[in-house]
Amino acid sequence: MNHAPRLAARRVGIDTFRENVAYLHRECPIVRAEGFIALAKIDLSVNGDGRDISAVLNVVDDERIVAPSEIGLSEQAFEQLGAPEGTQIAIAHAEPPASLHCLHRKIAGERLVRDEWMAIVADIAQRRYSKIELAAFVVACSQFELDRDEVAHLTEAMTAAGRKLDWQERPVVDKHCIGGIPGNRTSMLVVPIVAAHGMLIPKTSSRAITSPAGTADTMEVLATVELGFDRLAEIAHQLRGCLACGSVAELSPADDVLISVERPLRLDSPGQMVASILSKKRASGSTHMVLDIPVGPSAKVRSMSEAQRLKKLFEYVSRHVGMTLDAVITDGRQPIGNGIGPVLEARDVMQVLSGDPAGPNDLRQKALRLAGRVIEFDPDVRGGDGFGIARDILDSGRALQKMNEIIDAQGRRQDVPPLGRLTLDVLAGRDGFVEAIDNLEIATIARLAGAPKVSGAGVDLFRKLGDRVRADDVLYRIYADYPADLEFARRMSDRFSAYRIGDKEPSPHAFVEF
């Protein structure tokens, strides 16, 4: 690129979410001379001796955004390039990402080998794929199901592309849920119980992407969660546990980029789910993990056979990357606990920890079972003893004490956010029994109400599966802070209330038990 033309860099204050965009004026000599057109990809370089970053081109007709002598860069592109405004940037037609022929082989339905996965993931992590190419990759991987070795190589490649934490001891235990069940905040109970037992459980969680609250969002109601790695390690080593926010961008940068197309496409194929979860867990240094796979008609996994297949895939790949995995299939027919949304879920968790009889028993039971399985990773614990140990720790108050230590160490929040100021009660409308609760619909109502961005927003469930209701009973209460949010949530609940009320008392059989 020694002779490549140059233009002065300018930061354009547009957030293009994980995609580098460059803005060139239509009258810019380079656009005119080189036939660049909108959506073309260009390579940018500060030294002119290669490619620092690639970007998608938007052509601009307004000099206030970018002048003909400048190259505008979206916030992401400017940050990634890392040069100050005014730097002369060399510009060239983009060399296609080196792995593009592998992508085309995958689109054609071929099986890729390890090196090809490595090449694709490295290009994705370095943001060399456009959104269109990312979407093509995600769809291609979901259409012809990846075989288990391909998933193993994808996982390995995604781990290799990021930073890997080292805890200097083992086992390092963890607990993870594949998601999809609102209110399922078991991590905030499992971590203090397991840490109180003495095992190292440095839990890093992400914020909600499509759900009304992630563990990081809920923990943030109580304490600081954005900790640097050094501080996080210090707390974890001292207290045996923490509940912090993990940076996906750091631990699995390829996953961070892929999410930007998987989310709007609502695609979450088994291969990509396994690679995404295990690459992040491997990178965060976990050696042993209990995995929660909820099954239910509105859960991510809808049948027991599908759950069994997914479990086997997780087991195969975790062995490949050297992790010990205990995957459990759980009841995903309805939300866990009562509250949905950061403040409401934090309330449920603290009620269970403090032994408050108002605390939701389903959350308590599930957390004890999962904590028990984690505790059984301890070589000194006999198989089957975990649940009892966990229950003793919880009931003795040691888990609450541990939680308070963790909150204080991370930084107790002084201005605990209140519940939303506006409320709306949704009534049963008829006498009968709660026959079904739709996880997706109730999550959508909570999100429209403002969760997780507005931490006091969400939904509080007053009735659960099998409960008898009268027409004027409140099924759930919506909390919001802004009238427009409440209005969106109200209109959604008018159309899809998430509850089905029927005449028959459902038989109270245990759907799954572990």
| Active site members | 268
- Strand-pairing partners, residue 458, are 479
Helix axes 361-375, 187-197, angle to 10 degrees: 40
Q: Is the CB of 39 or the CB of 113 nearer to a copy of itself?
A: 39
Question: What is the Cα–Cα distance from 240 to 167, expressed in whole angstroms?
Answer: 11
Cβ distance to a copy of itself smaller for residue 370 or 451: 451
Residue 392 burial class via C-beta count within 10 angstroms: exposed 0-12, middle 13-18, buried 19 and up: middle
105 touching a copy of itself, by CB under 8 A: no
Residue 39 binds a copy of itself (CB under 8 A): yes
| 258 contacts 134 by C-beta, under 8 angstroms | yes
The answer to the question of residue 138 lying near a copy of itself (CB under 8 A) is: yes
Nearer to a copy of itself, 2 or 414 (CB): 2
Nearer to a copy of itself by C-beta: 143 or 354? Answer: 143
Residue among 335, 450, 456, 458 that touches a copy of itself (CB under 8 A)? 450
Among the listed ranges 8-16, 163-171, 328-336, 364-372, the one in contact with a copy of itself (CB under 8 A) is 8-16
How many chain residues interact with a copy of itself (CB under 8 A)? 65
Q: Which residues pair with 324 in a beta bridge?
A: 288
**At closest approach, how far in Å is the CB of 50 from a copy of itself?**
14
Single out the segment in contact with a copy of itself by CB under 8 A; choices: 149-157, 265-273, 322-330, 430-438.
Answer: 265-273
Please identify which residue in 28, 112, 118, 136 interacts with a copy of itself, judged by CB under 8 A: 136
| 129 contacts a copy of itself (rule: CB under 8 A) | no
Near a copy of itself by CB under 8 A: residue from 8, 14, 83, 512:
14
Of residues 97 and 386, the one with the C-beta less far from a copy of itself: 97
* β 474-480/468-469 pair status: unpaired
Strands 201-205 and 241-245: parallel
Beta strands in 344-457 (DSSP E): 422-427, 432-437
Q: Measured between alpha carbons, how far is 106 from 89 in angstroms, rounded to an integer?
A: 34
* Dihedral sign computed on CA atoms, order 351, 355, 360, 365: positive
Contact between 447 and a copy of itself per CB under 8 A = yes
Contact letters for a copy of itself, residues 269-308 (x by CB under 8 A): ----------------------------------------
Among 47, 88, 143, 423, contact with a copy of itself (rule: CB under 8 A): 143
454 near a copy of itself, rule: CB under 8 A? yes
- Neighbouring CB atoms inside 10 A of 414's CB total 5
Q: Pull the structure tokens for residue 190.
A: 């499992």
Q: What phi, psi does 79 have (nearest 5°)?
A: -65, -45
- Residue 382's CB is within 10 A of a number of other CB atoms, namely 9
Residue 445 Cβ vs a copy of itself, minimum distance, rounded to whole Å: 12
Q: Rounded distance, CA 16 to CA 134, Å?
A: 15
Residue 68, C-beta contacts closer than 8 angstroms, at least 6 positions apart: 25, 27, 28, 29
State which residue, 104 or 470, has the beta carbon closest to a copy of itself.
104
- Considering beta carbons, is residue 92 or 243 the nearer one to a copy of itself? 92
At closest approach, how far in Å is the CB of 79 from a copy of itself?
12
CB of 494 to a copy of itself, least distance (A): 13
State the DSSP H helix or E strand holding residue 137, giving kind and residue range, or none if neither: helix 131-143
Stretch that binds a copy of itself, among 11-19, 119-127, 289-297, 459-467 (CB under 8 A): 11-19
Is residue 139 at the binding interface for a copy of itself, with CB under 8 A as the rule?
A: yes
Q: For the residues of 246-291, what is the DSSP string, one character each?
A: --HHHH-HHHHHHHHHHHHHT---HHHHHHHHHHHHHHTT-SEEEE
Task: Enumerate binding residues for a copy of itself (CB under 8 A).
Answer: 3-5, 12-17, 23, 26, 30, 32-35, 37-41, 58-62, 64-65, 75, 92-93, 104, 107-109, 130-136, 138-140, 142-144, 260-261, 264-267, 447-448, 450, 453-454, 481-482, 484-485, 487-488
